[in-house]
Structure 1
Amino acid sequence: MSAIPPEPTKAEIDQLRATAIQKIEAGGPFDPQDVRRIRSDDKYIRRFLMHHDNDQKLSLEMVMDTLKWRHENQCNAITKESIPQEFFDKGALFIHNRDKDGCKMLIFSVRLHQKGTLDMDQLKRFLIYWLERLEREEKGEWITVFFDMCDTGMKNMDMEFIQYMINLFKSYYPWVLNYIIVFEMPWLLNAMWKIIKTWLPPKSIQKIKFVDKKSVGEYVAPDQCLTGWGGTDSYQYHFEPEVTSSPSGGTVPNGDITDNRKVHFAEGSAPSSPLRGKTVSRRTTPSTGGVYVDIDPGEELVFSSCRIGVTASIVLTNPTANPLAIKIKTTSPEKYRVKPSVGVLEGEGQLEVGVTVGEQLAPSALVRDKFLVMAAPAPSLDLSSQEVSQLFKTVNKEDLFEARLRVGVAAEDTNTSSLASPATPSATLPPELISKLDQLLQRQSAMEDQLRSARRIVFLLLAMLIAVLVFLVIATNNMTSTLLMHSTALHQGGRSGHRGEL
């Protein structure tokens, strides 16, 4: 069990709650379900304090950042049905059994995952689904993440995904990690894990435990270890639906719980309050079904700089009399805060969407990104976030409107960014470094293939050498036997001749 800081007092918990509620009431938007949890759940508030050693300021910052992140990612609306089935069929990420401290294990079978084969946005939602499920099932108790690295190669190491996972525990799921157990890590991946350690706070590094079949028993009992880990549990992965308590006291599978939460737009950006002074630069091409939205800007979303907190706006106008469901996605959701990212735009209404840079990055790291604006006919204005998400899953292609915006940075910031003072290190690696790491992984993967080929050739040559040696030994023995027999025959013949002379 990891070291535990001093337990916060009831007064400290109440103090953090009071300051958090003040900030919540000062502005949002936040998910009502999360706000209710802040108001009523002492255990949840306690976790933020424990995460930051009872530092009120740091704990408050994490509370507010978590509320914003949860609203932006619609965490309470992520269900099994909202994730593509192929993610569950793969069996690379699942929950099963407990460690010796009684903590549920989230198991990541790294060999079943290959970087780039799955949509990263959906993969991140898939991870959030499991973490949210563990929050409900374990009621906020500690969990252990088990990296099964057996038979893992370079092609399986997805640094971006692992970094995202660690950042979730660091920034948005407080005081929930017991251990990070790394099982049977190949020696070639040592350098990767040295990088991963730098993403963790110093006090969290002690939570990482590298084990093999001989030492895994120190943290996981044999009956809780899979047979592949040297244990006695012969479990074969199959998806097990979540069962949670319903308000009536019964149980219903996750995703079937009714939710009356409504989508609210960010303050000051409701469709019923048209913006002034905005010029619509383009009317986008409508879909074959007649759905279209006016977008400003029409081609490129330009940020005045690449510094944390800089905001650019997307103005959406519904020129029709019918309501439209709106959803905005980005290729790099970890870099931006989009408010709102989902909702319903009333007929002839207008909405300003704020896009805020959430990380300190170089301009080159932003200009690669894109935003996707989607719209579809909405049956009514009164739709929950889950209903809007479901609508986009079922809408016909001819009724779906899509427009893409590239990201740009003002030229003056591009020129001066190299002269700016260095910012506080970000929780994520610069894309340039990730690209170089990917190249390193590819080269090492190629070296692995060459090494395997060389090993096969060496084994073949060794087998041939052994065969030649065996042949030579047998031939030498046969020749020796023949010579001995011939020599014996000559010797006996000589003796017989000598006797005849006598």
Structure 2
Amino acid sequence: MATANEVRSLFEARLKEGIPNPPGSFHPLDLEKVKDEKYINRIIAHCENDAQQSADMLWDILTWRKNVGANDINENTIRLDYVKDGIFFPRGRDVDGSLLLILKSKNHVKGQKDMDEIKKIIIYWFDRIEREENGRKISLFFDMDGCGLSNMDMELIKYLITLLKCYYPYFLNYIIIYQMPWVLTAAFKVVKTLLPAKAVEKMRNVTKDTLKEVVAPEQALTCWGGKDDYTFQFVPENRSLELTPPKKVTFAEQGDNAHSPGEMLRLNPNDIIVFKTDNDEVSGQFTITNMDESAVSFKIRTTSPEKFRVRPSSGTLAPGASQTVLIVVQSGFQMRTVSKDRFLVMSVQIPKTDLSQKELSEVWQNSCGSKVDEYRLKCQFPEKESRNGNLLESKPEKSEINNALSSLQLNYEILNKQIQKLKVFQFLTMLMTIIAVVLGFLIYKNANESGNYCERI
């Protein structure tokens, strides 16, 4: 398995051989990335633990950044009028806690803006989010609602893919495509061919009804049917945040009672929620303790909110206070369908515990990645055993079968509507073709009659 020191050594050996001119010496800020073990580990993960490939990618990243002048891109060097059009902006988080970078497709018309300026804006947002989120993953959210062919810009999409594939390692969580019009289906099939297999697995096609599977209603904009009434307004980056070390995000690798300095919360247990069966009810629990000097607000998210009942799913804690969270599996869901689900606990500092719901909402909306702690929990469910000790596989219950049939029926209705639209489109196309042929024939006939008349004269 590749290590950060191994990748760094390979890079520095190449550096000693000299840098081609162009591009010339690498930017000092980019050379700092070589010393950042977390950044190098992101590249290693992106390159699937290949040390040489990781060193080559690090070199390519620094070369590209020097060529495009990435470190010189800021609010003073980009087209702010383009930015304020709201084509790109970050807002909300997916069910894994990853920030959404929203592409409001209907605000972009192909060919109307300078593509080089658009590319600079994309680099600006990627770099800014990478700093503010401390390198955590993001999800690209393609809001396709109300789009037509004029809004489909393959050059723009290819550029986004190239950045995530080559220059921003291990940065992508999901590609979420919301309300994709059927007329653009063929175009997105082409997009799939441009993506690596792992990126294709990250694609999620959602509608207003299924959005909650990847974005909780509290994190979704009202125009998507969510509860966030945010309207985009550009706010310049506060670079002073870089001077404050970001809080560590725990991935629960320590013992139950362990707590890292700088973290707001201690979770017990801190890595796995153990579920138990009691009177045909499957439930689990964990305790949250506020280890911070100030009051905190917490929220709990899960990958499948429809499968669980969480009490409480949010709350506030005074310094040193604790809260036990109870999680119950909803009836109708089998263990084999929920064993891979995850829970995310997020926390943010607040001035006092008796804030109103509106004030709490504003705190969360104005918080950036460096102010939010995140804690991830896996699920462990009881195993049913037979008399001889072998595991019994649960048979699908009637409610589960009904859920599957309902889902199948919904997909059938959606497909049927798309087919009906296609038939109408084909009929209109055929009708226009017939009209064109008839008009052509009449024009031709009229021209011939006019010619014969002239000859008789």
TM-score, normalisation: structure 1? 0.47
Contact 2:109 2:150 in 1 (8 A): yes
- Give the SS at the match of 2:186: helix
Superposed displacement of residue 58, structure 1: 1.7
1:163 to 134, 154, 158: 158
Contact 1:144 1:181 in 2 (8 A): yes
Contact 2:147 2:181 in 1 (8 A): yes
Superposed displacement of residue 248, structure 1: 6.5
Q: Cα–Cα, structure 1 residues 248 and 207, in superposed 2: closer, same or farther, change >3 Å?
A: closer
Superposed displacement of residue 25, structure 1: 2.9
Contact 1:137 1:244 in 2 (8 A): no
Query: Could you tell me which amino acid in structure 2 is paired with residue 52 of structure 1?
Result: C
Superposed displacement of residue 195, structure 1: 0.8
2:212 to 217, 220, 234: 217
Contact 1:169 1:177 in 2 (8 A): yes
Contact 2:138 2:171 in 1 (8 A): yes
Q: Could you tell me which residue of structure 2 aligns to residue 36 of structure 1? A: 32
Contact 2:143 2:178 in 1 (8 A): yes
Q: Could you tell me which residue of structure 1 aligns to residue 124 of structure 2? A: 129
Output one character per residue of 1:438-483: Cα deviation in whole Å (capped at 9) or x when no partner: xxxxxx9xx89x78x99xxxxxxxxxxxxxxxxxxxxxxxxxxxxx
Alignment of 1:16 with 2:7, yes or no, is: yes
State the distance in 1 between where 2:199 and 2:229 align.
Answer: 32
Contact 2:176 2:206 in 1 (8 A): yes
Alignment of 1:245 with 2:236, yes or no, is: no
Q: Could you tell me which residue of structure 2 aligns to residue 26 of structure 1? A: 17
State the distance in 2 between where 1:168 and 1:78 align.
Answer: 16
The more displaced of 56-65 and 210-219 is: 56-65
State the distance in 2 between where 1:223 and 1:89 align.
Answer: 24
Q: Cα–Cα, structure 1 residues 166 and 77, in superposed 2: closer, same or farther, change >3 Å?
A: same
Q: Cα–Cα, structure 1 residues 248 and 65, in superposed 2: closer, same or farther, change >3 Å?
A: closer
Contact 1:98 1:104 in 2 (8 A): yes
State the distance in 1 between where 2:198 and 2:231 align.
Answer: 35
Superposed displacement of residue 84, structure 1: 1.2
Q: Could you tell me which residue of structure 2 aligns to residue 143 of structure 1? A: 138
- Give the SS at the match of 1:178: strand
The more displaced of 108-117 and 16-25 is: 16-25
State the distance in 2 between where 1:138 and 1:25 align.
Answer: 33
Output one character per residue of 1:380-405: Cα deviation in whole Å (capped at 9) or x when no partner: xxxxxxxxxxxxxxxxxxxxxxxxxx
Alignment of 1:66 with 2:61, yes or no, is: yes
Superposed displacement of residue 245, structure 1: 2.5
Q: Cα–Cα, structure 1 residues 232 and 73, in superposed 2: closer, same or farther, change >3 Å?
A: same
Superposed displacement of residue 37, structure 1: 1.6
- Give the SS at the match of 1:214: coil
Superposed displacement of residue 85, structure 1: 2.0
Superposed displacement of residue 80, structure 1: 1.2
Superposed displacement of residue 249, structure 1: 5.7
- Give the SS at the match of 1:185: coil
Percent same amino acid among aligned pairs?
Answer: 40
Query: Where do 1:107-122 residues align within 5 Å?
Result: 107-122=102-117
Superposed displacement of residue 246, structure 1: 6.1
Superposed displacement of residue 149, structure 1: 0.2
State the distance in 2 between where 1:46 and 1:152 align.
Answer: 39
State the distance in 2 between where 1:95 and 1:249 align.
Answer: 22
Q: Could you tell me which residue of structure 1 aligns to residue 318 of structure 2? A: none
- Give the SS at the match of 2:89: strand
Q: Cα–Cα, structure 1 residues 219 and 70, in superposed 2: closer, same or farther, change >3 Å?
A: same
Contact 1:183 1:210 in 2 (8 A): yes
Contact 2:10 2:52 in 1 (8 A): no
Contact 2:139 2:176 in 1 (8 A): yes
Q: Cα–Cα, structure 1 residues 51 and 86, in superposed 2: closer, same or farther, change >3 Å?
A: same
Output one character per residue of 1:86-132: Cα deviation in whole Å (capped at 9) or x when no partner: 21221111111111111111000001100001101111001000000
Q: Could you tell me which residue of structure 2 aligns to residue 178 of structure 1? A: 173
Output one character per residue of 1:361-415: Cα deviation in whole Å (capped at 9) or x when no partner: xxxxxxxxxxxxxxxxxxxxxxxxxxxxxxxxxxxxxxxxxxxxxxxxxxxxxxx
TM-score, normalisation: structure 2? 0.52
Runs of 4+ aligned residues of structure 1 deviating over 4 Å after TM superposition are 246-250
Superposed displacement of residue 137, structure 1: 0.3
The number of residue pairs the alignment matches comes to 248
Contact 2:208 2:225 in 1 (8 A): yes
Query: Could you tell me which amino acid in structure 2 is paired with residue 27 of structure 1?
Result: G
Query: Where do 1:457-496 residues align within 5 Å?
Result: none
Q: Cα–Cα, structure 1 residues 79 and 225, in superposed 2: closer, same or farther, change >3 Å?
A: same
What RMSD over aligned residues (CA atoms) do the two structures have, in Å? 2.4
- Give the SS at the match of 1:82: coil
Query: Where do 1:353-392 residues align within 5 Å?
Result: none
The more displaced of 50-59 and 19-28 is: 19-28
Superposed displacement of residue 171, structure 1: 0.5
Q: Cα–Cα, structure 1 residues 146 and 119, in superposed 2: closer, same or farther, change >3 Å?
A: same
Indicate the structure (1 or 2) with the bigger Cα radius of gyration. 1
State the distance in 1 between where 2:244 and 2:45 align.
Answer: 32
- Give the SS at the match of 1:195: helix
Superposed displacement of residue 32, structure 1: 1.6
Query: Where do 1:284-363 residues align within 5 Å?
Result: none
Contact 2:131 2:242 in 1 (8 A): no
2:231 to 231, 236, 239: 236
Q: Cα–Cα, structure 1 residues 72 and 183, in superposed 2: closer, same or farther, change >3 Å?
A: same
Query: Could you tell me which amino acid in structure 2 is paired with residue 16 of structure 1?
Result: V
Superposed displacement of residue 243, structure 1: 1.3
Output one character per residue of 1:7-26: Cα deviation in whole Å (capped at 9) or x when no partner: x66xx111001111121232
Q: Could you tell me which residue of structure 1 aligns to residue 222 of structure 2? A: 227
